[in-house]
Chains A and B, each alone.
Chain A
Amino acid sequence: MPKLRLYTLVILLMGLGIGLILYKHFALGFPLSPDDKKSVWTIEAKIDFIARGDPIIVSFALPSETSNIVFIEEDFASPDYGFSELASPTGRRAQWSKRIASGPQTAYYRLSLYETDQINPLPVADLPPEPEKPEFDEVHKTAATTILDQARSKSANTEIFTRELISILNSNAPNQNRSLLLNEQSNEDYKTYLIINLLALEGISARIVRGLYLEDGRRRQSLANFVEVYIGNEWLLFNQNTGESGKPRNFLIWQRGDQSLLDVVGGKNSQISFSIIRNVHSTRNLVVRDSINRQAGIIDFSIYSLPIEQQNAFKMILLLPIGALIVVIMRLLIGIRTSGTFMPILIALALIQTTLLTGIIIFLIVVGTGLLIRAYLSRLHLLFVARISAVIIVVIAIMASISIISNKLGLSQAMTVTFFPMIILSWTIERMSVLWEEDGPREVFIQGSGSLLTAVIAYLFMTNRTIEYLTFNFPELMLVNLALILILGQYTGYRLSELYRFHSLERRNVSGKR
């Protein structure tokens, strides 16, 4: 059953094409619109310290890549320092080292990243060990227990309890117990550990999280402390100043756990500051770069792996199927007569180079002049092959004169005439003039304008930004296109032009019935 086979093939092609597109869109993050933009954050960490003239080791905690944060680039810079990147169980660390140094020293770490829209479920965290009961002296312990009781009485579960506890510690209302545990001078770290300890007293596991708020143009920033609490198989982030839970927007988690952020051996007065800059990049470029880096099979074996020059050539070639589809639609569904099946596509390609109006004017001038000269050639009694060759030469001469004259007149646009394929123009002229002799100027007009109309429509589609973007970045669209053309090849209904061609029949049959 050939029909069944065809439809199976069509469904297969469609499924494969659309499947690949969806995979690239959802799994690899390819945007479907060329205007899709993403913020790329560039973070620079500057580490300053004063060396004492001893061997120096600087160890600095680095953030790690997660499923929804993609690192584009990492740079480590520090003159004359040896550098290595170490993986430790608690995360990556950068290590700069030097035998002898003295005086002020600086090390830089630069990171570019962007956030993806992917929502990946958090991996189920391992059950942390039972928290060690912290040691409080008698007075502090009483204060702690009172606060915990206070928080517990107002809460129903661990999440609310944690939020309640943080808000008690941050409230401005006079509270002796709080003042005892936390005074105005105590720093952020102290507060973080106090919360962790209080939670431990309650038997709740918690850990410190350091992170950076991403805001454009910020300089001399430091990391903000958060508390992450283990609640029901997962870790939940709490803002230690407000009690809000969850990761804030534009917040980069730099480090988790107790390990120090920065260790400097052989130096003093170490300081770290962050500056942040935001850039807007096309999502597509980011995704392509990322996919190539990760060697995603589908991208690694795609057009992106070609040199840029070939990629540009393919940009054009991949548009041809769209033109072919337009021709199929125009001929099979509309019934427009064109001179030569695919000549319209070639004209459309030339139009892309010359821009629409200039292209059409040039086309008409060349073909018109060509027809006149061809009419003269036909009086010379030439053999066919010689005549068409003569027409080619004439076409070249016309094109050259158009270029030269327009250059003299300062019309640079008309110089794009060279983008028209000469052989095609010559054939068109030859066919048109034969058509003129045999079927009259009317037929020449019909087929000529049919070709031009089809070419213009194909041009409009092929220059559409979105279509151009989609055909190049989703070559799988070709499979969908192929499936569509296969379906159209089955169309046995009337062409639009036939509804006109047979319209007198309808009238006659209707009147015949009366």
Chain B
Amino acid sequence: MFLASAKKLRSFGIIGMNQRNFGLISRYNPRHLYPLVDDKLKTKLLAQEAGITVPKLLGTVQYQHDVKLLQEILHSYDQFVIKPVKGSGGKGILVITRHDYNFYFKPSGDAIQLIDIKRHVSNILSGLHSLGGKPDTVMIESLIQLDPVFSDYSYEGIPDIRIIVFRGYPIMAMLRLTTHASDGKANLHQGAVGVGIDMGTGNALYAVQYGESVSHHPDTRKALSDLVIPHWDKLLQLAAACYEMTGLGYLGADLVLDRDQGPMIIELNARPGLSIQVANYAGLAPRVAIIEAIKTIEPDPQLRAAFSKKQFSVDSNIHPPRLLRTRREDPRA
């Protein structure tokens, strides 16, 4: 079959684009809070205030004429990442893993020159990657070091963990593994592997690439079923804490594991995508319904994370038909 039946999708609790925009984003995410997450610099400062680990900020470039200072900022660091502050979907991110006097090397081994970096920076400043082409700021961050746990499961990049946090409760998680096809980026559209994660344990459940089921990493040929994410409790707690940090009721937290510093937040998203449902072979709707049924939100992120861990672990999640009914009967739905 080429097309799924809408009835079946609904019975699995799959949330579609329209429902996400209408029932989740516009209802739970007040517009005025968007800048907190759309501006990565603000997110970073907020996270630091909240005591959440983030990649170290090495410098920023705000004005076109500061582009010539780039070499001074960069030359003391071997590795760095250049990002647009208001970029979305991983656009405009340039990763340099090492450099010598003349050349800067990307993870793929491609060499570029300083002038290429300068051009990239000035493109970002003039708004090439920002929403609506607004002028943007460039930030330079320290490079995250690949945790050895993932060394068998990633290709030329750092995998990240996307956790959907609804009203402060983590409800679904996905590990995104970089591949050759995705050019070292953890972007499912471009061919990264999405791995559904058991909320209870951090174990890999299923994996998809280009929407089709896979069992091994396409480049390293390692079986994905053996994958377990370490520091799982800490990751859930960090994600849950993003609710207090931003006030957004429906957000996607992108976290990474750094070899030296452990779990950290790299980005928050006020409009997280829906592919996570494909990677988990499960719909968001039943989980959203459970959280919507909670009257008072637990103020402690750690307790919320614990609740989610128990509630959404694979073992306790075997009765979707009943959950579906609660969702349907929700008068606001």
Contacts and interface: CB of A to CB of B under 8 A. Distances in A.
B292 to A, nearest CB: 15
A495 B16 contact: yes
A506 B11 CA distance: 10
The SS class assigned to the A binding surface is: helix
A383 B122 contact: yes
Interface in A8-26: none
A434 interface: yes
Contacts of A494: 6, 9-10, 14, 16, 18
A384 B1 contact: no
Nearest to A440: B190
Interface in A373-405: 381, 383-385
A429 interface: no
Interface string B71-86: 0000000000000000
A503 B16 contact: no
A216 interface: no
B163 interface: no
B69 interface: no
A438 B189 CA distance: 11
Contacts of B213: 504, 508
A506 B190 contact: no
Interface string B198-242: 000000001010011100000000000000000000000000000
Interface residues of B, number: 40
Given A384-B128, A508-B281, A509-B12, A495 B1 contact: no
A504 B16 contact: no
Interface in A430-448: 434, 438-440, 443
Interface in B44-79: 64
Interface in A306-331: none
Contacts of B245: none
B311 interface: no
Interface string B1-45: 111111011101010111100110000000000000000000000
A507 B18 CA distance: 23
Interface string B271-299: 00010011001000000000000000000
Interface stretch (A407-415, A417-425, A485-493): A485-493
Given A494-B14, A498-B16, A503-B1, 9 more contacts: A381-B115, A383-B122, A383-B126, A384-B123, A492-B16, A504-B213, A505-B278, A506-B1, A509-B8
Interface of B: 1-6, 8-10, 12, 14, 16-19, 22-23, 64, 91-92, 115, 118-119, 122-123, 126-128, 133, 189-190, 206, 208, 211-213, 274, 277-278, 281
28 contacts: A335-B17, A381-B118, A381-B119, A384-B126, A384-B133, A385-B126, A439-B189, A492-B16, A492-B19, A492-B22, A492-B23, A493-B16, A494-B14, A494-B18, A496-B3, A498-B14, A498-B274, A500-B2, A501-B278, A502-B277, A503-B2, A503-B4, A504-B212, A505-B9, A505-B281, A506-B1, A509-B8, A512-B281
Which 10 A-B pairs rank lowest in CB-CB distance, beginning with the nearest? A384-B126, A492-B19, A506-B4, A494-B16, A499-B3, A503-B4, A381-B119, A499-B4, A498-B16, A492-B22
